[in-house]
Structure 1
């Protein structure tokens, strides 16, 4: 009996060590990261992230820059370091909030949200800029020398931080769209050069919308995924449409509150035949709402294109196969 008990104990310990060694989430552990924005390019996933540097005693965000990581198999991530900061924009004067990078015609365009300095063009508040590079890992530089979106351009919300969290999408016909916003979701067409608006800014009617939109197309459906639920802690909700300008039909919640963080932020890709859902939480040691960490789990769809509930795991995703 003693031998059997010892065997069971050893088996349990081996299993625990094996499980710990296999645990992937959070996928980046040496720094605190937030607001994941994955990009698939040439058989590789590039991950653009914010960088939390607040101390455990801080009660607000400290996000000095944006970093880039990449992976060929979704479990081993190469650190390309800090590749952009608000200091790259002469007009900027704030933290490095959520951002997304997209490829078009040999260039990589990185849309970022940060504060705008008070000057004759702006009374301040949050703004959206765009940086450009010939490589997915930089170097990036300000593409236009001014903000693409300023607080003065949007008047539906009175607070100064409604112009944050850009997501960019290029449709099959080549038309590009920018979506963003806190408190309301805004959208505008972009010209082919990706650095100018092509038309008026629209304010979308999206149920429970708070912030953090992510827009993409899969098969014949368009998806608008966002942090919502009306109150914090945030949850991830989504809408679907048959066109990039809607009408957007509310479909429900796909991710509940995340551990130890009152925000969460979605990023979605299809890669080598599988679908993935990126998000952040506060699960690393000493982590929290201002010291967040990025995770990734598998994503599944129903036959009608609706999204199944995201199952958050500590083990994360298995290595992807295929060339």
Structure 2
């Protein structure tokens, strides 16, 4: 539907700084308890597509293994073309140590590098990896940075090992020299690994998770398992359960820290979580680092301001690149640090990546900072929406823009400075859903000139 927005215009001088979004594109460190520790980084590897982080500490360094999303322009599934290894000795400065390619495993040349886990035994390092949601394999190396080789040349957990379930997303927990693997989705399984770490010592067994009143609790994929004091924790996404026994039964407790796939570790006496975020979109993600706190009874203390980056504060400041935006017509899309721009060579249209995952019901304004170097006096912003409660929404990436919400903006012409335009989203009763994609036509009705944008965001 077409809507003519009531737009408030605020003139911004070029050198001024816009209001900082609630969860902007930043590596800024924050601390909830004191100024030095613990460390919190909302987005550790901005615009690198590194996610599904798992960690191991060796020789005073933390090694992080993560899958890599193949392209920020993917709109139909999770395509992951490799695993990457990073390391740090302070949780702030990271070094890229190497990559593991699917062609080095039985997967072959397929973008199926889903989540894995890393562990060590007797000086050897074992990387358990997912072949998408089909199976789980194992690689081995003499160092946490590799080189890793496929230990079996076939799955350790083949398709069918748990009947109709999917044997993927491994999680390894070691206690008293016994290594137990958790895996699966919806209902988890656990299995003890053989002493050689590349075989199974038994048949996989179901992991029982129930609510406090004894009802079966459905879980998501990618389990996370850790122990503190005498309590075992089983977490998935933003949920967790507790048990006195490693292999359960687990009792569902409630909210874990917000985010997707996660991993828990200790560093200098502080508990931490690395968790998946939606950096660019649903299919081009990142890693958040958060401190983890506990209540006296052992339950998780979730801060009131905890959020899944970028939460409702999704914004584009073009600090790192023009990633996430394409030029569809009317000229190129150029980037310099802090803005994107283009010459007008006909009807100009730029468009964001798909599946932006922003809850518009919680957003009051859309903000655009534009410098219009043309005679145009109108711009248009279109928002494509989706309902995340209606099935597997990512299987329908197509958009009919004529049916989506459009805002026509009155803009000034021949600008010498940036100007800020705010669209009042609260006036549109149709925005009872989530954001799928944005389309911007920065200068309507002209064929010459140029434009520049330095900020697009939701507040």
Normalising by structure 1, report the TM-score. Answer: 0.77
Aligned counterpart for 1:86 among listed residues 81, 89, 102:
102
Which residue of the partner structure matches residue 294 of structure 1? 287
Output the CA distance in 2 between the equivalents of 1:313 and 1:164.
24
Q: 2:265·2:272 contact (CA, 8 Å) conserved in 1?
A: yes
Which residue of the partner structure matches residue 246 of structure 1? 248
- Taking a change above 3 Å as real, the CA distance of residues 200 and 71 of structure 1, as seen in their structure-2 partners, is same
Counterpart check, 1:44 vs 2:48: no
Greater per-residue strand proportion: 2
Normalising by structure 2, report the TM-score. Answer: 0.55
- What's the offset of the Cα at 1:155? 0.6
Which residue of the partner structure matches residue 59 of structure 1? 76
Output the CA distance in 1 between the equivalents of 2:243 and 2:227.
9
Which residue of the partner structure matches residue 147 of structure 1? 155
Which residue of the partner structure matches residue 231 of structure 1? none
Output the CA distance in 2 between the equivalents of 1:190 and 1:67.
25
1:221-246 alpha-carbon deviations (Å, 9 max, x no partner): 1111113xxxxxxxx21111122121
1:152-204 alpha-carbon deviations (Å, 9 max, x no partner): 211143xxxx1211001111x21110011123211101122211111111122
Greater per-residue helix proportion: 1
After superposition, residues 216-255 of structure 1 pair within 5 angstroms as 216-227=226-237, 236-255=238-257
Output the CA distance in 2 between the equivalents of 1:127 and 1:183.
16
CA RMSD between the two structures: 2.6
Which residue of the partner structure matches residue 134 of structure 2? 126
Counterpart check, 1:167 vs 2:163: no
- What's the offset of the Cα at 1:91? 5.5
Output the CA distance in 2 between the equivalents of 1:25 and 1:205.
33
Which residue of the partner structure matches residue 187 of structure 2? 184
Of the two, which has the highest radius of gyration?
Answer: 2
Output the CA distance in 2 between the equivalents of 1:80 and 1:54.
21
Deviates more, 1:57-66 or 1:130-139: 57-66
- What's the offset of the Cα at 1:133? 0.5
- Taking a change above 3 Å as real, the CA distance of residues 59 and 313 of structure 1, as seen in their structure-2 partners, is closer
Structure 1 alignment gaps of length 5 or more: 1-11, 116-124, 228-235, 259-263, 316-323
Misfit runs of 4+, over 2 Å: 12-16, 19-25, 54-58, 90-94, 310-315
Q: How many residues align?
A: 272
